[in-house]
Structure 1
Amino acid sequence: MNSKEQERVLREYLNGQDSPEGKALFDKWTQSLYDENSLPISDTEEVLSQTQQRMWAHISPKTSSPIIRLVPSWGLRLGVAASILFISVLAWLWIAKFHQPISESELSYQTIKTKAGEHATVILEDGTKVFLNGASSLRFPKELKGLTRHVYLEGEAYFEVTHNPQQPFVVSSKHLNTTVKGTTFDVHDYAQDSQANVTVLTGKVAVEIADNTKHNCLILPNQMCTYENGKAFLTQSVVADASESISWRERKVYFKRECMGLVFRKLERMYNVSFQIKNPQLLDCIWIASFENASLEEVLQSMQSSLGIQYQIKGKEVIITGICQ
């Protein structure tokens, strides 16, 4: 089938004629548009003609026939213009078919939740891996269609995103929207915490405030973007070792000059307990410590020796008395 016959079959299919042959050609054409990435920005007959020949060759069976270059004439000028118009129409149809936004009502979602002290691993349709920390949830579409791969996080998760520059990966959490095209990063955004942050291990990540998209930051490996409740801006900083942000995956924990209020919340999520703090002043104390595969008892003993507090464990409740020294 030569190019004129192919064009006729395509036109008939686009006009609504039921044609398996036309549909097959259309699918091949749209794939060629995708492979070409974009039409050349040029209006010269030679470039446009070369583009058309290259795209027809992409969808036609290979032959040993030589390529014949015709000398431009007035009639050919009209033919090229009509063909380029046809290409443009097909390009528009391709965009409409493959790149139109898909409403959430058209997607089927699934939610994975973890309890305090639990971890979970989720593998999405495109191969992206998500590792959920305790007391967290991930809502995601079963099929990653549309302009973006959009998921919703409550809590904390580490993402290993499959690279796809044509379909960015977006994580919406309580305070932040995080956008990537393929990278590894940690999102820590619990509703109970006054601070949320995103830490990058590899690649490049764009972060913006969920309800104020004018404020954003672009972070690279070993960088962190931080949001604090009540503030209308993000803070960008460098971290010594970004892998520490995902130490929770290996049951490791680092407290680097963290206030005890945040320490207790982290321990509640790690060990599935609740703390009763008898002296509220203790929540403002600062603690420095690190643990690996430690039991709750070991952590509390370290807290007692370094801060001078007292503790009592009653089932799933831990009572803390005293004040840091």
Structure 2
Amino acid sequence: MKRIAMTDYRKYTIEDFLTDALFRAWVLTGDTQAETFWQHWLVANPDRSERVQEARALLLAMAEKKQTLSDPELDQIVEATLGKLNRETAPPTARPLYLVLARMAAAVLLVAGLGWLVYRFPTADSLNAISTRSSSSETRVERRNDTDRPMTVLLGDKSTVILQPGSRLSFGSTLEKASNRVVYLDGDAFFDVVKDPARPFFVYSNQLITRVLGTSFRVVAYAREQQASVSVLTGKVAVFAKEDLEKMAIRPGAGQLVLLPNEQVTFSQNKARFTKSRVQGLAKLYHPPRFSFDETPVTDVFTALEKEYGIDIEYEPEKIHGYLLTATFSEMSLHDELDLICRIIKGTYHIEEGRVIIETDQQLPAEDANHSRNPTL
């Protein structure tokens, strides 16, 4: 899987993918480094996903055999298939997947007639599995801060993003279940990421990719600007340019820069160069708000949190009617505040597409509601 020159895969046709060594290593052998590269490449290039999936399905279909094909055998099949496809007038990327596979099948069966391959065409179920295995059609959630003050975005894994005015963030609706937690940023945001070593967290922004396991950091990367920066408050992050994805597939860690607390890196797009420096004052920029409640209805508490953080909290008012709260929230994250409130109302919360959903099965008894329940924290 050696490669000397960087390859512009965005310009690849389906035929190009079929003969590419790195692509074949991913599809046919499950090579870990190749799989990591293509997963990241697909995330960074969602508009090329359909073309990649068609090529992947073709290659899997051609390689399907009771015994493993040798590279020379597979090369012969691919070459014969490409000869058949290239004689078609329509461009490969314009063909529906089923039509491409049908034409490919004809070419492979022709080769099989010469004794090179015992070919079995995939069933409808297996075709569907192939075409959706790495699909980028997942529902995406976008949060835009069109206000004049910071806005808090809660992610399903309980990570928190403070989005600055004029910025936007997008992520998959099932981010908390994904093997790699991936978000896209255009603008300025502070991230407080929940640690999960088995599921790294990636921030794609302008020409930079930031990889973390669990830490807090700031990313400033506007699509319209030539410079982007990443600065770390706690933990450790790895930063690398999108153009270095292929290097990392061949040699893990190549091209990346590791940042520790109070370190910052600035990336100049026109010069393709990193500049590392020290930075102070991040903690002051992102200081948690302070709340003080004195016999305050929990519904009003939720309203105060919504206003301060710029979030939506959904709940059934009748189930929390009568609960009063006396408490001071200081130096606490929004998640900690929600945890404490839910413990008082005997409920739970979860995040759906950035919204906070409060659930509680118990309603305050009428006799208690008449006197009100007033927990003090």
The structure with the larger Rg is 1
Calculate the TM-score normalised by the size of structure 1. Answer: 0.42
TM-score by length of 2: 0.37
Q: Higher relative CO (CA 8 A, sep ≥ 6), structure 1 or 2? A: 2
